[in-house]
Structures are given as structure tokens and as C-alpha cells.
Structure 1
Amino acid sequence: MRNVSSKGMEIIDLFIDSLRGRNLNSRTIQEYAADLKHFMGWHEYQGMETCQNVLIFSFDQITLKELVTYKEAMKKVDLKPSTINRRLSTIKLLFHWAHHHGFVRKDSSKHIKLLPLPKSPPHMINNEEEKRLLDAVKAHGNLRDQVILKLMIFTGIRAGEICNLKVVDVKTFQKSGVIIVGAENQRRKVPLNNMCKSILEKYMATNTNYLFLSKKTGERLTERALRHLVKKYLDIAGLEGLSAYSLRHNFGYRKAAKTSMHKLARIMGHNSLNTTMTYFK
């Protein structure tokens, strides 16, 4: 990485200081700083010939054309598209901040385009990873959390539908248990496997009305709280890059291997078969 002028470092330090109140983790802030040092070192090096080999940083000298040249230079050294896009996004953040604080008259980064990213196949959770996740919630969570994770893994229902479940929506007295979910005009029955049926019967004895309540407020669990809860156990299990929505996707792909498209559409509550087709490709 090339050296950066004192003026350039001053700008970087001011920008990084402005981020510290945004609850960003230290690694993210370090990446921002490294990205900007790389760009500023490259920018100042380009201008050394006209500045008698003296490193000088100036926002107003950075044009859209120069940013495009920088993007092309990164492509030539075979950086990953995701790395190039991260650096360009950091530059966009810097220019937005600089324009807002009057350091630059024009935001030259506004029209720089990111690289298209290749679509990677979804991360399917294998049996060993599924066991790690269930072990994590069993070891570190309560009965409520165990029920939530098992429903998300084995029924594929949406986060919002989990939060809106009421005791009356659970029918475990039937031979094959079901839960009834969805908006009022689009209610549907989702089958339960024996594992979900058994733990729901145990859990329901402790609740009335809404099935899942917040420990803090005693009210219905919110979607935001549920996503945070799922993320916590995914982290404990060491499953990176996954979310509550990943569990629904995982259910869809697994079920597609042994279920017809129309049946899967009914179970997952898809309004269009085009959505369901995703799981059969």
C-alpha cells in the first residue's frame, strides 16, 4: 500500500471519527480506513508527476473519470468483484460525508457504478450444521427459543407468521399436527413433523393468546427481536452468512426434493408458482 499525504490522512481520520457513533464494529471501521488509504495512495501517486513528486490530496481533483480509472485498475489486478465494490462503496460514503460537510463542491462518486456480482448458489444447511444449530439453542436458550428454531427449520413459515402465531392456530390434537398461518384472507395449514408437534404440546401449556412473547415487554414478539434471536444462535453454532430467512429458504430447497411444486407453493404461502420454481432449479 502506497503512502498517503498528511492532508489525506487528516481527511481519513475525520471521516473515521464520524463513524464511531454508528455502532459499527471495529473490523468494519478498519476496513473503511484501509480502503480509503488504498484509494488515496493511488490517487496521490497519479498526480505526483504534475506536483514535483510531492503527495497532495485534493477532493476537487477527483473526477468521475478518475474513479472509473481506479475501478479498472483494480479489475486488472484480479481483485474479487466484492472487494472492488466494497472499496467503491467506501469511496461513495466518503464523498457523501465530504459533500455534506462542505469539503467538496461536487460528489463525483455519485455516478460510479458497482460491478455486477455473480449469483452464488444458496447455502444449504446440511444435517451436521442443523444439529449444531439445534444443540446451540438447547444449550443456551429456553423452551420458547427451541420451539421457534424448530418451527423455522421444519415448517419454513415466515418470521412475521411466527410472531403472529396464536395458541388457537396450533392443532396438535390431530393425527398429523398443523399450524394455521397467514393473513386473514389467505390462511393456510402447514403440517408439523413429530418433533415440532411434541415440543409445541409441551410449550403451549405455558401460554395463552400469542404463542411467542417478549421476555422484556410481555407482549407479542416482534420480527426484529425474532431475527436477532435467530442470528444469536446461528452465531453460537458458527454458521456465518445465514439469517432467519435462510432457514425458510433451506426448508424450501429440501422440501422441493420430495414434494410437488403446487403442494410446496401451498405450504410456503406463495402467491405465484414463479416464486416456488426457484426451489426446483
Structure 2
Amino acid sequence: MTPAAGRGTSAALAEPLEKFLRYLASEKRHSPRTCSSYREDLKRFLVWVEYQPSAAWRSVTSHDLRRYVAQLSREGLGGRSIARHLSAIRRFYEYLLRERLATDNPALDIRAPKAGRRLPRVADVDQLNHLLDATPDDPLEIRDLSMFELMYSSGLRLSELAGLDLHSVDTRGGEVRVMGKGSKERVLPVGRKALDALANWVGVRQTIAPEGESALYVSRRGDRLSPRSIQSRLSRWGLAKGADQRLHPHLLRHSFASHMLESSGDLRAVQELLGHADIATTQVYTHLDFQHLAKVYDQSHPRARRGRKQGRES
């Protein structure tokens, strides 16, 4: 897409674009940041149009635009970035049509390639064991360890953990009752380590929480701990205990799901535990599981690496 050296931008292309950007700022009252984004994307498109045989806005066809999208893809832009480019072009041509500088909008029926679904990051089992086996230094860390054990033990969402009350946990039955998305309640098993950590926290909670406070996890002031505070405490725990990656609540949930699937292979069970309405949401963890299996295969099979290397070189 790099233009030939020495060729400048023609006024016939540049002037309508500048007027469009002024229109966004003055009439549509878009923020400077939004206008800057439009400018960046459309300037890139302008350079491409300028070096086409016709080099005119009104001459760009949908076929031309598909070639432009293919060029962006070859240059490494993902589906979301290309969709943003197309949105800017579509909006620009609406303006050109209004100003009678074009006869149609070539971007109307062009769609960006689907963005690849980003796989969630998970923590290594040994690393999580190391972090969760660390000894708490004060009452608030006793609380923190209990929260993190429970999140990893039962795959809780951040909002579900923050919403727990004292009566939500049945320590004798080893269960926790949570309110998930769409106000759907589900009952989840709680592991032994999480129950032990929870018992330690309940023992010190009464020295912090005022009488009548229903929240299971409270702040140093005695009121319900907020989701933001839980995020902050988990990140702090990771730094203090030597984690090699940033800890956040979803990392514990993703790790729970991936480790469960690696061990059991039961996708439906993992779906129920996570509270996913659609199994397609849970299926992302089958890709993580395959990555784990592929890694083990590469490390273990005597001819795996050689075969793959030869395949790449052929």
C-alpha cells in the first residue's frame, strides 16, 4: 500500500476530507479524540485511493473497497480495526453523497473479516498453588485469601463474590449459593482449602463487621467490600506473593474453568458451574485445553517437534 515516492496528495481528494472533518467537529460536535481517529483512518484510505488509476472519491467501487480491506488484512489489521476503518469510510461517503461529490456509498455492503475470539489467559496450577499457599500477614489478608480461594474453588464472577452474604455459604454441606447473571441462582461446590480459608476469615470477621451486617466480605470499615476493592486486593496479593503475571478476578475464574476441563473433559459440567446460558461461551475453554494437549504432545512425543519443523519448512 506504500505510495510511489514523490507523489503528493491531490486537492480534489484532500479538500472534501478536510471539510468532512470540520463538519464532524463543528456541526456534529464530535470530540477531538473521535475526530483524530476519523482523520487517521481516512488519511490512510486517501493515500490508497490516490494511487488507484482513477484517483477520485466518486470512482471508488465496492470492488475497490474489498481490495482495500484485503490490503489492510495483509498488513496485519484485525477484524475490529478493519471494521472501524469501514465505519469511517461509510460515514465519509454519507457526507460526500449529501454534498453531491459521490453517486453511491461503496462501503454499504462491505463487512470486515470476523475478529478472532481472544482466548482468556489462565494461570499455571503450580503458580496458583504457590500463591494460595502463602501465609496471610494480617486480618485483611486472611479475608483476601478466603476470597481468592473461593473464587478459584468455585469459579465465581467478581460480582457474585462481592454479593455473597454470610448465609450464602453452607460450610457443612460444602456449598455456596450465588446470584448470577439474569438473577439466576445456582449452588456450587466449595473445596476443602476454600472452606478452611473461609473458617479462618469468619473467625476474625466478627472483630471488623458491625452487628447486623450481612455481607460475607467486609472492608476495614465494616461495610460490604466493593468489586473494585476486591480487584485491587487481588492485584496487591499477587505483587506481594511473587506472581509472575498480573492477577485479576477473571484470571481465577478462567483458570478454574480451564483446569476443570483439563481434568474432567466434561464441558456440560463446566458450563453449569460457570453459569453460562450458552455452551458456545464455555467452548472457548476447549481451545485452551487443546493448547495444553498440544504443548504436552510437543514436549513428549519423540518425533513431534521434528515433524512439525519439517512441515513448516516444506
* TM-score normalised to structure 1 length: 0.60
Report the equivalent of 1:179: 176
Number of aligned positions between the proteins: 252
Gaps of at least 5 residues in structure 1 are 23-28
Among 239, 256, 260, the alignment partner of 1:255 is: 260
Moved more, 161-170 or 10-19: 10-19
**Contact 2:165 2:214 (8 Å CA) reproduced:** yes
- What is the CA distance between 1:94 and its match in structure 2? 1.8
CA distance, structure 1, for counterparts of residue 155 and residue 270 of structure 2: 10
Corresponding position of 1:89: 83
Shift of 1:122: 4.7
Q: Residue 258 of structure 1 aligns to a residue in which SS?
A: helix
Distance 1:115 1:251 in 2: 32
Q: Would the alpha carbon gap of residues 128 and 192 (structure 1) be closer, same or farther in structure 2, given more than 3 Å must change? A: closer
Work out which of the residue numbers 32, 37, 47 in structure 2 matches 1:41: 47
Tell me the amino acid that sits aligned with residue 110 of structure 1: L
Aligned to 1:167: 166
- Per the TM alignment, residue 254 of structure 1 is displaced from its structure 2 partner at its CA by 0.2
In the alignment, is the contact (CA less than 8 A) between 1:149 and 1:230 conserved in 2? no
Aligned pairs for 1:52-91 within 5 A: 58=57, 60-75=58-73, 78-80=74-76, 83-91=77-85
* 1:111 partner letter: D
- Tell me if the contact between 1:159 and 1:245 (Cα under 8 Å) persists in the aligned partners: yes
User: Corresponding residue for 2:18?
Assistant: 10
What letter corresponds to residue 73 of structure 1 in structure 2? Answer: Q
Judged with a 3 Å threshold, the aligned counterparts in structure 2 of structure 1 residues 79 and 98 are, in CA distance, closer, same or farther, namely closer
Unpaired segments of 5 or more residues in structure 2? 99-103, 290-314
Structure-1 separation of matches of 2:19 and 2:248 = 36
CA contact (8 A) 1:182 1:188 kept: no
What's the CA shift string for 1:249-269, capped at 9, x where partnerless? Answer: 321110223347376455444
The amino acid that maps onto 2:30 is S
Q: Which letter does structure 2 place at the counterpart of 1:258? A: S
Deviation at 1:39, TM superposition (A): 1.9
Shift of 1:70: 0.9
Letter of the 1:43 partner, please give it: V
Question: Identity over the aligned pairs, expressed in percent?
Answer: 19
User: Aligned to 1:114, what secondary structure does the other structure show?
Assistant: coil
1-structure distance, mates of 2:278, 2:21: 50
1:12·1:33 contact (CA, 8 Å) conserved in 2?
no
Return the letter of the residue paired with 2:254.
H
CA contact under 8 A between 1:71 and 1:84: conserved in structure 2?
no
Larger radius of gyration: 2
- Structure 2 CA distance, aligned partners of 1:228 and 1:20? 32
Residue identity matched to 1:42: W
- Local SS of the residue matching 1:181: strand
**Residue 198 of structure 1 aligns with which residue?**
197
Offset, 1:157: 1.7
Report Cα offsets for 1:91-117 as digits up to 9, x if no partner.
2332455467x4544654332111134
TM-score normalized by structure 2? 0.56
- Asked whether the 8 Å contact 1:182–1:269 carries over to 2, the reply is no
* 1:149 Cα offset (Å): 4.1
For the 8 Å contact 1:124–1:250, the answer to whether it is kept is yes
Residues 96-115 of structure 1 mapped to structure 2, 5 A cutoff: 97-98=91-92, 102-105=95-98, 107-115=105-113
Matched residues in 2 for 1:220 and 1:97: separation? 45
8 A contact 2:261–2:285 mirrored in 1: yes
- Distance of aligned partners of 1:234 and 1:202 in 2 relative to their CA distance in 1, 3 Å threshold: closer
How far apart, in 2, do the equivalents of 1:230 and 1:111 lie? 48
SS in 1 for 2:263: coil
Letter in 1 for 2:86: K
For the Cα contact (< 8 Å) 2:146–2:194, is it kept in 1?
Answer: no
C-alpha RMSD of matched pairs (Å): 5.0
In the TM superposition, residue 67 of structure 1 has moved relative to its aligned partner by 1.2
CA contact (8 A) 2:155 2:274 kept: yes
